[in-house]
C-alpha cells in the first residue's frame, strides 16, 4: 500500500507511534479502593462513544498504586484488547481526560506530532484487518495479540496533514450523522403511523363509512355472520369486561361485541405453546419457529432451528397446518404473524403460542388486533417475571377480542394491509439509505488514508521525519514511581472536571464568541474545542452549524477557525 501513498506519507507500525500501556484491576476485596474513588477506571463496558472522559467505576489513588492499573493522559487512544465483541468489531476511543484502565484495555500514548484523532480514525479504517491478523483464536474470549498489534502498520501523514484529514473526516461524518438522524426520525414516524393505522382500524374509525353504506343498503352485518359465537362447548364468550371497549377506544355507534380469544379457537387444539427444550440443531429435523423468527407480521423461515422428530411428535397440537396466528410470549413479547399454508408440518418452541382459529374469524384480523395499540397495552399488562419475562397462556386465552362481522373484518384487514404496504415501502427506502450511509462512511475512511480526501501541501514536514523524531525521543516509560509523582496531583483535577456542555446549553453563536474573545482573530480547531468545554461530538455539530450560518470559516490552509469578518 505504501506505493499508493502521497510522497510525504509513510507506513508506520503501532510501536513506532508511541507507547502501548496496559492496565489492571485493583483488589475487589478491598472496598477502600472503590469507595469514594475519583479516578475513572475504564473497562470495555465504557466504550460507548468515540471519546472517553469518565467511567462507570471510579477508584482511589491508593488503588492505582497497589495494582497493575495505569493512569493514561488525555490524548491517548484506548483499544479493547480482550472481549467477546472482538469477534466482529474493535472498540476504540480517545481520552479527553486522564483515566485508569483495566487489563482488557490497552492505551496507545502517542509521541509528539502524532494526532490521537488521526490514529483512532486510521484504526477504525483498518479494524477488520486488525481483527483478522491480530486476534487470538481458539480461546473462550477473543483477545488481541499484543506483539502482532504492535507490528501492525498504518499510513501516517505529515502532522499538519493529519489535522486536515481529521477535520475532513469529521465534517463529512457530521453530514452523514445528520442523514442518519433523519432516517431514524423517518423510521420512528413509520412505527408511529403503523400504530395509528392499527388504532384507527380497531376503534372502528377505518370502517365507519363502510358500516354506514352497508346499513343504508340494508345489508346484515350483525351477529348472523358471527358463526364462531354460536358455541356449544361451554366457553363463555361474554366474559371480557365492558371496560375493554374503552381500552380499544370503540365508540358507542360501533356494534361490536367483545369475546375471549379462546372462544374463537379450535376447542381441541386450543391455544398452546410449543416445544419446551428444543435441544441442539438437528440435520433433517423438524423446522421450529422461535420468538426471534417473528418480526413485522412475518415469519423468517430461512434459518429455522431443526429439532429431533421424536421430540416434535410430543407436541402435536402446535404442529402448524397453515392459518394459525403465532405470537411471541417469552423474551420479546407481543410480536405476531400468521402461518402460511407452506408452513404445514413446522412446529414452534416454548417461546411461541399457536392460536388455531375457527372458520369465520380471519387470522390476519386477530393478528392485527393483538398488534394494535390497545392489544399491545393489554399484553404488556399481562407480562410477568423478571429474569425471563413472559405471558401466561391463561391470560392470552382471556384476551378480549372485538368481533365484528366477517365482512367488516375483511374491510379492516384491507385498510391495514394498504397502510402497511405504503409504510413498508418507506421503511425499505430508509433502510437502503441507511446502508448506503454505512458504505459511504467506509469509503470516506478508505479515501482519507490513501491521501485522497484532502489536498497535499508539499511544504509540510514529511511524516518520515515525524516518525524518526518519535523514535529518537520516545514517550517516557510510565513506571509506577513516575506515575505516582505526576499523577497524585490529578486527584483534585478528577474532582474538578467540568460536566461537558451540549448544544442545548449554549447560544447559536457560542463558538464565534469564544474566537472573538481570544487575543487573536483565529484559533486552532483543537484549542477552540478545549475552550468550549463541550463533548467532542457536540462540539463538531455546533461547529458545523456555525460554519453553515456564516459565523466562522476555516483559514486558507484549513488549520484554524476565524471570524467571517476577520481581515
Residue-wise pLDDT tens digits, 328-341: 999 889 999 999 99
pLDDT at 161 (0 to 100): 94
**From first to last of its 567 residues, what are the pLDDT tens digits of the chain?**
656 899 999 999 999 999 999 999 999 999 999 998 999 999 999 999 999 999 999 999 999 999 999 999 999 999 999 999 999 999 999 999 999 999 999 999 999 999 999 999 999 999 999 999 999 876 789 999 999 999 999 999 999 999 999 999 999 999 999 999 999 999 999 999 999 999 999 999 999 999 999 888 887 666 444 445 444 444 444 444 557 778 888 877 777 889 999 999 999 999 999 999 999 999 999 999 999 999 999 999 999 999 999 999 999 999 999 999 999 999 889 999 999 999 999 999 999 999 999 988 999 999 999 999 999 999 998 888 766 689 999 999 999 999 999 999 999 999 999 999 999 999 999 999 999 999 999 999 999 999 999 888 888 999 999 999 888 776 654 444 344 434 444 444 444 444 557 777 788 888 888 888 875 677 888 778 878 888 777 887 888 788 878 888 887 766 788 888 644
Contact 145, 135 (CB under 8 A): yes
**Euclidean distance between CA atoms 67 and 417, whole angstroms:** 62
Structural domains of the chain, ranges and CATH numbers in brackets:
2-158+461-491 (3.90.220.20), 222-403 (3.90.220.20), 498-567 (1.10.10)
Which residues sit opposite 71 in a β-bridge? 100
d(CA 15, CA 247): 65
The span from the CA of 307 to the CA of 329, in Å, is 20
- The enclosing H or E element of 353 equals strand 352-355
Distance (Å) of CA 210 to CA 204, 422, 440, 541: 10, 22, 48, 51
The DSSP-derived string for 517-548 is: HSSSSEEEHHHHHHHHTB-HHHHHHHHHHHHH
Q: What is the pLDDT of residue 552?
A: 87
CA pair distance 332, 239, nearest whole angstrom: 28
Would you state the pLDDT for residue 231? Answer: 45
The rounded radius of gyration (Å) of the Cα atoms in the chain is 31
What pLDDT does residue 520 have?
A: 60
CA pair distance 408, 227, nearest whole angstrom:
14
Task: Spell out where 434-549 has E strands.
Answer: 522-524
Please check whether residue 41 is in contact with residue 60, taking contact to mean a CB–CB distance below 8 angstroms.
Answer: no
Q: Supply 123's cell numbers.
A: 484504526
Amino acid at each position: 500500500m505504501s506505493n499508493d501513498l502521497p510522497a510525504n506519507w509513510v507506513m508506520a507500525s503501532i510501536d513506532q507511534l508511541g507507547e502501548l500501556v496496559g492496565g489492571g484491576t485493583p483488589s475487589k476485596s478491598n472496598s477502600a479502593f472503590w469507595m469514594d474513588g475519583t479516578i475513572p477506571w475504564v473497562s470495555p463496558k465504557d466504550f460507548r462513544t468515540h471519546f472517553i472522559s469518565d467511567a462507570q467505576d471510579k477508584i482511589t489513588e491508593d488503588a492505582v498504586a497497589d495494582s497493575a492499573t495505569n493512569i493514561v493522559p488525555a490524548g491517548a487512544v484506548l483499544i479493547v484488547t480482550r472481549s467477546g465483541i472482538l469477534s466482529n468489531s474493535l472498540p476504540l476511543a480517545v481520552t479527553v481526560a486522564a483515566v485508569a484502565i483495566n487489563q482488557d484495555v490497552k492505551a496507545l500514548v502517542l509521541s509528539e506530532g502524532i494526532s490521537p484523532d488521526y490514529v483512532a480514525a486510521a484504526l477504525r479504517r483498518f479494524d477488520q484487518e486488525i481483527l483478522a491478523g491480530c486476534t487470538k483464536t481458539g480461546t473462550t474470549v477473543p483477545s488481541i495479540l499484543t506483539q502482532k498489534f504492535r507490528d501492525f502498520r498504518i499510513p501516517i501523514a505529515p502532522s499538519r496533514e493529519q489535522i486536515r484529514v481529521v477535520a475532513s473526516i469529521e465534517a463529512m461524518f457530521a453530514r452523514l450523522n445528520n442523514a442518519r438522524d433523519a432516517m431514524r426520525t423517518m423510521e420512528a414516524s413509520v412505527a408511529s403511523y403503523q400504530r395509528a393505522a392499527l388504532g384507527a382500524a380497531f376503534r372502528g374509525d377505518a370502517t365507519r363509512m363502510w358500516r354506514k353504506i352497508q346499513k343504508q343498503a340494508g345489508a346484515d352485518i350483525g351477529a348472523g355472520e358471527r358463526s364462531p359465537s354460536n358455541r356449544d362447548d361451554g366457553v363463555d364468550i361474554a366474559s371480557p369486561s365492558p371496560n375493554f371497549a374503552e381500552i380499544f377506544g370503540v365508540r358507542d355507534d360501533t356494534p361490536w361485541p367483545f369475546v375471549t380469544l379462546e372462544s374463537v379457537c379450535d376447542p381441541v387444539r386450543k391455544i398452546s405453546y410449543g416445544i419446551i427444550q428444543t435441544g441442539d440443531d438437528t440435520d433433517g429435523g423438524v423446522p421450529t419457529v422461535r420468538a426471534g423468527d417473528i418480526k413485522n407480521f412475518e415469519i423468517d423461515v430461512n434459518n429455522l432451528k431443526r429439532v429431533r422428530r421424536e421430540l416434535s411428535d410430543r407436541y402435536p397440537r402446535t404442529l402448524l397446518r397453515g392459518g394459525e396466528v403465532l405470537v411471541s410470549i417469552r423474551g420479546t413479547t407481543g410480536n405476531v404473524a400468521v402461518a402460511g399454508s407452506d408452513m404445514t408440518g413446522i412446529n414452534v418452541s416454548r417461546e411461541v403460542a399457536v392460536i388455531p382459529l375457527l372458520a369465520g374469524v380471519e387470522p390476519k384480523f386477530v393478528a392485527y388486533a393483538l398488534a394494535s395499540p390497545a392489544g399491545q397495552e393489554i399484553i404488556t399488562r399481562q407480562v410477568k417475571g423478571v429474569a425471563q419475562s413472559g405471558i401466561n397462556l391463561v391470560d392470552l386465552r382471556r384476551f378480549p377480542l372485538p368481533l365484528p362481522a366477517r365482512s367488516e373484518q375483511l374491510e379492516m384487514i384491507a385498510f391495514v394491509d394498504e397502510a402497511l404496504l405504503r409504510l413498508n415501502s418507506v421503511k425499505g427506502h430508509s433502510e437502503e439509505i441507511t446502508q448506503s450511509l454505512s458504505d459511504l462512511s467506509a469509503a470516506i475512511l478508505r479515501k482519507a488514508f490513501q491521501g485522497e480526501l484532502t489536498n497535499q501541501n508539499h511544504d509540510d514536514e514529511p511524516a518520515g521525519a515525524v516518525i524518526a523524531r518519535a523514535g529518537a525521543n520516545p514517550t517516557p516509560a510510565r513506571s509506577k514511581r513516575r506515575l505516582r509523582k505526576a499523577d497524585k496531583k490529578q486527584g483534585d483535577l478528577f474532582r474538578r472536571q467540568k460536566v461537558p456542555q451540549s448544544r442545548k446549553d449554549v447560544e447559536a453563536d457560542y463558538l464565534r464568541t469564544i474566537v472573538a474573545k481570544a487575543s487573536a482573530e483565529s484559533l486552532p480547531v483543537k484549542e477552540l474545542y478545549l475552550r468550549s468545554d463541550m463533548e467532542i461530538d457536540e462540539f463538531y455539530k455546533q461547529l458545523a452549524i456555525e460554519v453553515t450560518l456564516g459565523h466562522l470559516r476555516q483559514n486558507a490552509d484549513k488549520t484554524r477557525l476565524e471570524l467571517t469578518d476577520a481581515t
